[in-house]
Structure 1
Amino acid sequence: MTSPFDIVGFDMDGTLLDTSGDLAAAVNHALASAGRPPLTVAAIKPMIGGGARHMLAQGMAATGGCDDDELDVLHRRLLDHYEANMVVHTAPYPHALDALDALAARGVRLAVVTNKIERYAAEVLATLGLSDRFACLIGGDTLGAGNAKPSPAPIHAMIERCGGGRAAFVGDSIYDVRAAKAAGVPVIACAFGFLDRPVAELGADATVDDYRELLPTLERLAAA
């Protein structure tokens, strides 16, 4: 059986993997070092998606604010903590691996396009034994400053590095949707992700509540 798409790309945090526990722990480590109260995982989830500094800036804003100099110091503390504790709680979402297997069996080339620092993303995938499933990995720093999502540049690079062809993208944030739309690629939003607004307001071409819905949703998008 073949697929209507040659390439399917995935965001990482809140899409392929539930990384919220480990990211929240890193944010709270940085907040604690600044004498701030901890935030719940639920409060931090909507802050995820725009990169670690953006996530921390929102955490600091929620607990009293800070200036750029303090944010620089705390950002480094967050990264150091996260680098040492990246895969404590992180795991794939239910049925995600089954969906990847089904796509691969149809000859689809798979990719990860994330705003996470590339070497961190690579380590997470390697630790979970997932690296070999993907034809390419593009991180938030892979293409240089200004070329992370919502720029279309990483989506264009994904298609090029995967050898070209018809592509679709799966994500959970406005950054994912805007990047894919700007690149002219259909995009599916995950209703279970780290949403900062109702999933219907992201403007995706389709949504899924579970990875068991991904293949039929891709087929419907292609037919449309």
Structure 2
Amino acid sequence: MRTVIFDLDGTLADTSGDLIAAANACFRQMGLGDMLDADRDQGTALRGGRRMLTLGLQRAERFEPSVVDQYYPILLEAYAQQIDRHTVLYPGAMEAVAQLCAAGYGVGICTNKPERLADQLLQSLGVRDKFASLVGADTLAVHKPDPEPLREAARRAGGDPARTVLVGDSDTDRNTARAAGVPSVLVTFGPSGDDMAALQPEALLDDYADLPALVGQLIGANS
């Protein structure tokens, strides 16, 4: 079976608002106040908790790797408590997933969000059952851009890892697909969308309505 594997943050859903809120909760505990802005720092938020903590501490001129390590689990717990207050799925995402499933593709998720939190978020959004696989940052001993999580997501979705496409929004996703020897599609509607063309993916995606046709062009029909 051919498979389509999606990144989560910044690809299927805009999770930046809730991630920034969790990071700012940490900064308030440190006595620094809110160091990140929901609009200005969207791109950093979608790169993960450690990136957000690093940026805020650098702005406060208080950066120490040990502080990032100390507060990272606190950030994750704060995020888990309010994981879907601001998060929204991107327009057309689930319609595209439904079309791919109807066309016979296996569909799964490969994210660098911890698996527990990814599962919690998908359950909360009511879409967990639409994906045949979910591989998070801690599911295996390695995470993206190592290619093995992508391959495992394809296998768990019932597919051949060599006959898959990765849909993502970052250089991490581009490099993961390249390491796996499969094509990538990078979305342009996220906060870093203008930078995606420079990564030279096999395709750019401006609108989820175009994804099923793009997948057919890249890895063929699954019928």
Do Structure 1 and Structure 2 share a fold, with TM-score over 0.5? yes
- Aligned mate of 1:38, from 31, 35, 38: 35
Specify whether residues 118 and 167 from structure 1 end up closer, same or farther in structure 2 by C-alpha distance, changes over 3 A only.
Answer: same
Match of 1:11 in 2: 7
The alpha-carbon deviation at position 36 of structure 1 amounts to: 4.4
Identity of aligned residues (%): 37
TM-score normalised by L of structure 1: 0.89
Whether contact under 8 Å (2:20, 2:52) holds in the other structure is no
Amino acid at match of 1:182: A
The alpha-carbon deviation at position 163 of structure 1 amounts to: 2.5
Amino acid at match of 1:14: G
Match of 2:86 in 1: 89
Give a deviation string over 1:172-223, Cα, whole Å, max 9, x none. 0111110011001110001112428711122211111111121222223236
- Aligned mate of 2:25, from 24, 29, 39: 29
Distance 1:111 1:141 in 2: 16
Aligned CA-pair RMSD: 1.8
Whether contact under 8 Å (2:133, 2:154) holds in the other structure is no
Distance 1:42 1:60 in 2: 18
**3-state SS of 1:86 partner:** coil
Amino acid at match of 1:119: R
**3-state SS of 1:168 partner:** strand
Match of 1:159 in 2: 154
Alignment of 1:106-145 (within 5 A): 106-144=103-141
Alignment of 1:175-186 (within 5 A): 175-186=172-183
Match of 1:77 in 2: 74
The alpha-carbon deviation at position 107 of structure 1 amounts to: 1.2
The alpha-carbon deviation at position 137 of structure 1 amounts to: 0.2
Specify whether residues 222 and 196 from structure 1 end up closer, same or farther in structure 2 by C-alpha distance, changes over 3 A only.
Answer: closer
- Larger CA deviation: 67-76 vs 131-140: 67-76
**3-state SS of 1:42 partner:** coil
Q: Which runs of 5+ in 1 are unaligned?
A: none
**3-state SS of 1:189 partner:** strand
Distance 1:80 1:160 in 2: 30
Distance 1:203 1:28 in 2: 34
Whether contact under 8 Å (2:118, 2:136) holds in the other structure is yes
**3-state SS of 2:39 partner:** helix
Distance 2:7 2:126 in 1: 17
- Larger CA deviation: 41-50 vs 149-158: 41-50
Specify whether residues 73 and 80 from structure 1 end up closer, same or farther in structure 2 by C-alpha distance, changes over 3 A only.
Answer: same
Amino acid at match of 2:109: V
Q: Which runs of 5+ in 2 are unaligned?
A: none
Specify whether residues 159 and 44 from structure 1 end up closer, same or farther in structure 2 by C-alpha distance, changes over 3 A only.
Answer: same
- Aligned mate of 2:53, from 41, 51, 56: 56
Specify whether residues 197 and 210 from structure 1 end up closer, same or farther in structure 2 by C-alpha distance, changes over 3 A only.
Answer: closer
Number of paired residues? Answer: 217
